[in-house]
């Protein structure tokens, strides 16, 4: 799409020929967990390490995240493996402190219509990933992006993560057509989160490949070294040891689509 504008975060362009992979656990839980995740995802070609430090949980008794200590661990692990970081920012007061730890500010599905937060991130000039509200139309999602853009921040990437339908076999329903439609409406990159749409790891591969096939500019995937022990979203986490094979499949399909998922750090080293 000729009018499409790439969003560049440090040295990484989202919306260019490379399909940008962002992966890691739902929540940062420990130093060991996030370091192991960083090692495997970087060697599989991911550019971003994901991990929530401030979690929006349905229940107040569920694990709420490690907070600022979590963000310090995320930065340490990402830096150790030359990754960038993406993490959810929950409120305006976190923005200034977050800059040291978070390269790409995620707005969660439950906050898509939190107008003060949209405007604050618009003023911040941090690159923003705007997840689609699971009960919101494409039109409402586009308008939410316009709140950020309207404050003078052009660096917005949209993320389709599934919407609520009558179907219960999956956690949400991935709205595939939303990807080209949002791209056309905004001229901005759109990425796909197969994990929250699937809800179960068994369906993550299908939705990952579907994301590649529908023209997503990136993928946001949850993976955990030991999903059975995960403190949040364990059922949908790809087992970390199986992540490289998933990336290889995505890479092959991306190639057929005229996109590239660069080889990971270790693979590149092996090729030299």
Note the residues at the interface with ligand PEP (CB under 6 A). Answer: 26, 52, 56, 108-110, 131, 161, 196
Binding at 161: pick from Mn ion, ligand PEP, none (beta carbon under 5-8 Å per type): ligand PEP
Which one, 205 or 233, has the nearer CB to Mn ion? 233
How near is the Cβ of 28 to ligand PEP at its closest, in Å? 11
- Rounded Cα distance between 198 and 157, Å, is 21
- Please state the separation of Cα 226 from the chain's center in Å: 20
What is the rounded CA–CA span in Å between residue 129 and residue 162? 15
| Nearest CB to Mn ion, comparing residues 26 and 254 | 26
Q: Based on CB atoms, which residue is closest to Mn ion, 103 or 233?
A: 233
- Least distance CB 145 / ligand PEP (angstroms): 15
Pairwise CA distance, residues 56 & 72, whole Å: 19
Query: What is the DSSP pairing of strand 218-224 with strand 238-239?
Result: parallel
Residue with smaller CB distance to ligand PEP, 56 or 269: 56
Contacted entry of ligand PEP, Mn ion, none for residue 22, CB cut-off 5 to 8 Å set by kind: none
Instruction: Return residues touching Mn ion (CB under 5 A).
Output: 26, 233
The option from Mn ion, ligand PEP, none interacting with 115 (CB < 5 to 8 A, set by class) reads none
Contact assessment for residue 213 and residue 257, using Cβ atoms and an 8 Å cutoff: yes
**Smallest gap, in angstroms, from Cβ of residue 29 to ligand PEP?**
13
Distances (CA, A) of 71 to 56, 89, 101: 15, 11, 6
C-beta of residue 136 within 8 angstroms of C-beta of residue 113:
yes
Q: How far is the CB of 252 from ligand PEP (least distance, A)?
A: 26
List the single partner that 131 binds among Mn ion, ligand PEP, none, CB under 5 to 8 Å by kind: ligand PEP
Q: CA of 211: how far to CAs of 29, 140, 193, in Å?
A: 28, 21, 8
């Amino acid at each position: 799409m000729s009018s499409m504008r790439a969003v560049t975060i440090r040295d990484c362009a989202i919306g260019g020929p490379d399909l940008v992979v962002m992966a890691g656990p739902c929540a940062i839980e420990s130093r060991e967990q996030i370091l192991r995740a960083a090692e495997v995802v970087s060697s599989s070609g991911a550019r971003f390490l994901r991990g929530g430090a401030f979690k929006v949980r349905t229940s107040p008794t569920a694990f709420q995240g490690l907070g600022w200590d979590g963000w310090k661990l995320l930065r340490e692990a990402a830096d150790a493996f030359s990754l960038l970081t993406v993490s959810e920012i929950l409120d305006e007061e976190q923005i200034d402190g977050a800059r040291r730890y978070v390269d790409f500010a995620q707005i969660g599905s439950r906050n898509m219509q939190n107008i003060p937060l949209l405007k604050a991130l618009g003023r911040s000039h941090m690159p923003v990933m705007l997840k689609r509200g699971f009960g919101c139309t494409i039109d409402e999602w586009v308008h939410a992006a316009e709140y950020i853009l309207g404050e003078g921040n052009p660096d917005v990437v949209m993320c389709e993560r599934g919407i609520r339908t009558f179907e219960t076999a999956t956690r949400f329903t991935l709205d595939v057509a939303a990807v080209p439609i949002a791209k056309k409406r905004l001229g901005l990159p759109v990425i796909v989160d197969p994990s929250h749409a699937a809800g179960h790891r068994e369906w993550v591969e299908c939705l990952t490949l579907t994301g590649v096939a529908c023209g997503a500019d990136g993928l946001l995937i949850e993976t955990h070294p030991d999903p059975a022990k995960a403190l949040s979203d364990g059922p949908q986490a790809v087992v970390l040891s199986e992540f490289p094979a998933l990336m290889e499949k995505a890479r092959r399909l991306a190639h057929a689509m005229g996109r590239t998922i660069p080889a990971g750090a270790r693979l590149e080293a092996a090729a030299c």
